[in-house]
Structure 1
């Protein structure tokens, strides 16, 4: 028994009391008509895509660019500068400017995962770098260049974070406009993620931060009680820096994921008919619909087994779901399938997708159609590597599937017959000592047949 994704949604999978009507124009594009669950027109979906930030400021690309700039700034400040400590410290351990170093290191990670926290962090680091540049004679040329690069990092982080937060609001507004004013409860037996989403990241982040605080406290106490000798706690600062950056990133990321899950399950949500296409790497990409071939992938999610529930309810079986009405199975890696999306649509949000799958038994040509629901957070990925697609011929695909099923059943029957024959007619067992019968015969004939050149005691 195998489950297959169904191309078009059967009416039974829509929310109670909801309906939807499609209209296909001469150019092959889908237009939205009135109905309980809205269809997302390709033109509106394109507006949603253009509302995002430029590619250079996208979460992944922007995070890598910021990381490269931060490394270059560290090389200038700590590697090439002949001045005192880059953040203005003299001998010993600099504690006053240590928070600025931590925040600068965390900026690429916070920009990628916690853009809200990147805003105040960039402001703090920019002020500290500006004050260092304003003090005459406090730094040489490499240090001055490093501070200028730090200001550039802060400017990019500030601009990108503001644009990303603004883009999230605009995209949510566009998706809500397309969905209309009606709200629906989540489907039955939907996996509830608000009980676990983000908890592991928050606890891990808290543990890392507590360890870092302990290490810093030990170094600070040793420095204060050293009697003016100047205790060197730089090693402890470095270890704590790594722990603080990782801990705050995990903690912030988990907190945002938890809040998104709470928003999804706390109240009724808007609903849209969308298309979903699977990538080779396991990510699934949401498109405007599953019928417009020119509709590009918009945003991704990664379904997990714990967040997917199969066969939540029976949708039907028989000739009403046969070939010719779009209720045929497809390969989701080759073309998209229809799904009902519940929730807001923007980076970092969490949504529920309900779609239909069919299960075919060996002796049932039509099989049964069930509803499947998946709860997943939306990822900030942009590179989908999905090419154009062509709709599959439902009749040809069904005949091919039935042929493969018959061949598979015939192979199983043949294997069962062969196993039954082996049980009825087991092969003869070799008698004891048969492996040495040849040598025994030679021994009985008066010789051992060996090359030892002497007797073997047979006489």
Structure 2
């Protein structure tokens, strides 16, 4: 049995009947959303406006995160490598390890990861580090030229993290409002058989993050309340600070990502959701890309998700059999890597959100000419990816594919019937009894005589034959 994606959504996939609805976009401009069976379609022009509402590519999570990593590394080199005050992390004899600047160091180092995965946390972190940098620069006698350059780089990193995070959060709200405007006022319960994700999504990351932070707290406590050295200088806890810094940044990032994923899953399952008819196209790397529809070849991929087996349920509902889809109605199977297929998207398509997609698949049994269409449901968090690598596509010849499928089905059925006729013929006309029992008699005689010979044994008998 093989399952194939169906190009067009059968009527049974849509949640309920409805009429055209009027909605108001985020700009206050009324736009008409056409609907099929009560679910709004996504006009390509509105989807293109949604795509343009995203932040510029230079502020995308991956690009912005790497840019911040470069700035933070440059600040490290200037402040702790080239500055004459780099050894002053121990603040001088008798003062021990510097703890006052340690929180700012943690927040500065965490900016690249937080910007990429937890942007709402990068905003207050950037403000805290920027205030500390300004206060340090206000004391010109305490810093040399490399340190001054280092703090200026820190301010640049804070400006990028603060501005980029604010723009990303604003873009999310903007895209959600545009998606809600396209979906109209109707809200729908999630389809039958939807995999529940709010019970597990993000939990492992939350627990891992908490565990790392607890270990870091234990290590830093040991460094903070350590015994003085033999020379009388206060305890040197730079090693504990370094380990704690790594653990705190990793733990906080895991915890933040887990909380965001859990909240997105909880919002999706907590109440009825808006719905849109969209197109979905599979990439060679396993990512699936949501498009405005499955018919417009100029519709650009908008946002990606990765379907997982644990979050996908097949055969949730029977949508039709051989009489439900025929030549010319669009209910033919396709290769999703070559062209998109239609799906109903429940939820809001925006970075960091989670959605449910329901689409149709056809299953063809080995010895059947026609298959059956079933609904398949996938729950997936959306990714902030930009590069899709998908080229232009051409629609498949549905009637030709279906005729080929029917021809192959008839040939398989004919071969199956031929094999059954041959088996029935062998049952009705078994081979003669003598030809089938002679070998069995010899075998039984040999077994009875323990390998010895009787009066009817042939020339293979040994000296115990007694034939004289």
TM-score (norm 1): 0.84
Q: Which residue of 1 aligns with 2:401?
A: 397
For structure 1, the residue ranges without an aligned partner over 5 or more in a row are 22-30, 418-423, 425-459
**Residue 87 of structure 1 contacts residue 132 of structure 1 at CA under 8 Å; is this kept in 2?**
no
Among 68, 89, 93, which residue is 2:97 paired with? 93
Question: Quick one: distance in 2 between partners of 1:259 and 1:404?
Answer: 48
- How many residues are matched? 410
**Residue 125 of structure 1 contacts residue 154 of structure 1 at CA under 8 Å; is this kept in 2?**
yes
Is the partner of 1:137 in helix, strand or coil?
Answer: helix
Q: C-alpha offsets along residues 98-144 of structure 1, whole Å, 9 cap, x if unaligned?
A: 01111111111011111110000000111111111111221222111
Q: Which residue of 2 aligns with 1:61?
A: 63
Among 272, 288, 295, which residue is 1:291 paired with? 295
Among 270, 273, 294, which residue is 1:269 paired with? 273
Among 140, 146, 151, which residue is 1:142 paired with? 146
Deviation of residue 332 (structure 1)? 0.5
Is the partner of 1:321 in helix, strand or coil?
Answer: coil
Instruction: Indicate yes or no: 2:82 matched with 1:75.
Output: no
Is the partner of 2:142 in helix, strand or coil?
Answer: coil
Is the partner of 1:319 in helix, strand or coil?
Answer: coil
Question: Quick one: distance in 2 between partners of 1:166 and 1:267?
Answer: 24
Equivalences for residues 213-362 of structure 1 within 5 A: 213-222=217-226, 228-362=232-366
Question: Quick one: distance in 2 between partners of 1:12 and 1:50?
Answer: 33
Is the partner of 2:382 in helix, strand or coil?
Answer: strand
How has the CA–CA distance of structure 1 residues 367 and 95 changed in structure 2, closer, same or farther, with 3 Å as cutoff?
Answer: same
Is the partner of 2:152 in helix, strand or coil?
Answer: helix
Q: Which residue of 1 aligns with 2:42?
A: 40
Q: Which residue of 1 aligns with 2:199?
A: 195
Is the partner of 1:217 in helix, strand or coil?
Answer: helix
Question: Quick one: distance in 2 between partners of 1:108 and 1:408?
Answer: 58
Question: Quick one: distance in 2 between partners of 1:193 and 1:137?
Answer: 56
Is the partner of 2:336 in helix, strand or coil?
Answer: coil
TM-score (norm 2): 0.83
Q: C-alpha offsets along residues 246-292 of structure 1, whole Å, 9 cap, x if unaligned?
A: 00000000001100101000000000000000011101000000011
Question: Quick one: distance in 2 between partners of 1:56 and 1:415?
Answer: 64
How has the CA–CA distance of structure 1 residues 90 and 7 changed in structure 2, closer, same or farther, with 3 Å as cutoff?
Answer: farther
How has the CA–CA distance of structure 1 residues 123 and 85 changed in structure 2, closer, same or farther, with 3 Å as cutoff?
Answer: farther
Question: Quick one: distance in 2 between partners of 1:145 and 1:55?
Answer: 28
Instruction: Indicate yes or no: 2:17 matched with 1:17.
Output: yes
Structure number with larger C-alpha Rg? 2
Deviation of residue 351 (structure 1)? 0.4
Question: Quick one: distance in 2 between partners of 1:246 and 1:78?
Answer: 22
Q: Which residue of 1 aligns with 2:453?
A: none
Which deviates more, 37-46 or 136-145? 136-145
Question: Quick one: distance in 1 between partners of 2:138 and 2:414?
Answer: 83
Q: Which residue of 2 aligns with 1:206?
A: 210
For structure 2, the residue ranges without an aligned partner over 5 or more in a row are 22-31, 423-435, 437-468
**Residue 367 of structure 2 contacts residue 412 of structure 2 at CA under 8 Å; is this kept in 1?**
no
Deviation of residue 245 (structure 1)? 0.4
